Chain A
Amino acid sequence: MIETTSQSDISLEALRNGDRAEFARLVDAYSAPIYRLGLRMLGNEQDAEDVLQNTFLSALTHLSNFEGRSSVLTWLYRIAVNEALMVMRRGKPEVNIDDTDSSDETDDLSPSQFVDWGSLPEDVLLSAEGKQALDNAIQNLPDNLRMVFLLRDIQELSIKDTAETLGLSESNVKIRLLRARLSLREQLSSYYGERINQEKTND
């Protein structure tokens, strides 16, 4: 039988006792989601790899401080998010995800696009071009919305774990998630609206 490693198999006690085989199992269990998060946050493979390596180096150094109150994955994500933020700040020192600014208000959420693209066939929506449009829309999100969106909708963390990872309140996570989703919807509506118009012109 082929062995697979899941979160519940990892022994925290063995990790704290310096069991290297157990640490290798931890790395194999979590390196893929950490790498994907880095890729999505930073948009390039080299930075994502740096974040991945620094996350596990930091985890190794700080294992004794991990009290097990959150899950191992949430703890690793928290380290990874901080590592990624450091990389992001190299280019843009103003990046700040925990500030409470206008992104936490609900006043200006009103949709402006009412294109009914939801019924387009799946092979259009999930084509390479469709996926690219979605990726572009995600990259266009402001950093503080994108971080929440990536953890919740891409990494599929709960609202609670997303809040814990980013040091935000659950209500802030919810409103930022809503803003992120509405922004993606607007962007995809513009994109598919143009396509639908083009097809009409071609008919």
Chain B
Amino acid sequence: MTESTHSNCKSLLGTLSDYVDGELSADLCREIEKHIAECEDCRIVVDTTRKTVDLVHASNDPQAGLPDDVRDRLFKRLNLADYLKPVPK
């Protein structure tokens, strides 16, 4: 990634988040793909950044519920104990 031979590397970095989120224009995507086909360091940075974001999403469980005891105490604190029916699954 020496600047003299890889002037594109730095500009690529600024668009990396949008690229891995699929929010970059087709033209810019093509530019990145062309560059990483020739620049191994940037190819690795792009691949491992994408993998990092994938891992975050894969290890995240958006459906994870609230522990029952935490829910009980929350309802009591909010004076909602009358509504403490079982959590809808």
Which residues 9-24 in B have Cβ within 8 Å of A in the complex?
10, 13-14, 16-18, 20
CB pair A178 B17 closer than 8 Å: yes
Q: Check B37 for interface membership: any CB of A closer than 8 A.
A: no
Q: In the complex, A60→B73 CA distance in Å?
A: 16
CB pair B48 A118 closer than 8 Å: yes
Q: In the complex, A134→B60 CA distance in Å?
A: 11
Q: Check B57 for interface membership: any CB of A closer than 8 A.
A: yes
Q: Check B80 for interface membership: any CB of A closer than 8 A.
A: yes
Contact with B along A36-74 (1 / 0, CB 8 A): 100000000100010011001100100000000000000
Q: Check A3 for interface membership: any CB of B closer than 8 A.
A: yes
B49 contact from A21, A27, A138, A181, Cβ within 8 A:
A181
CB pair A32 B77 closer than 8 Å: no
Within the complex, the shortest CB–CB distance from B64 to chain A, in Å, comes to: 6
Which residues 103-118 in A have Cβ within 8 Å of B in the complex?
106, 109-111, 114-118
A177 contact from B14, B17, B64, Cβ within 8 A:
B17
Q: Check B26 for interface membership: any CB of A closer than 8 A.
A: no
B44 contact from A2, A27, A28, A118, Cβ within 8 A:
A118
Q: In the complex, A154→B57 CA distance in Å?
A: 7
CB pair A27 B74 closer than 8 Å: yes
Q: Interface residue count for B (Cβ, 8 Å)? A: 42
Contact with B along A143-168 (1 / 0, CB 8 A): 00000000001101000000000000
CB pair A114 B49 closer than 8 Å: no
- Could you list some 25 contacts between A and B, CB below 8 A? A5-B88, A24-B83, A27-B78, A31-B74, A32-B65, A33-B62, A52-B74, A53-B73, A57-B77, A57-B78, A111-B1, A115-B48, A117-B51, A125-B51, A134-B55, A134-B56, A134-B59, A154-B60, A178-B13, A181-B53, A182-B13, A182-B49, A185-B49, A185-B52, A188-B48
Query: Apart from A125-B55, A138-B56, what 8 extra A-B contacts exist at CB < 8 Å?
Result: A32-B64, A49-B74, A111-B45, A114-B1, A114-B40, A116-B48, A178-B14, A184-B56
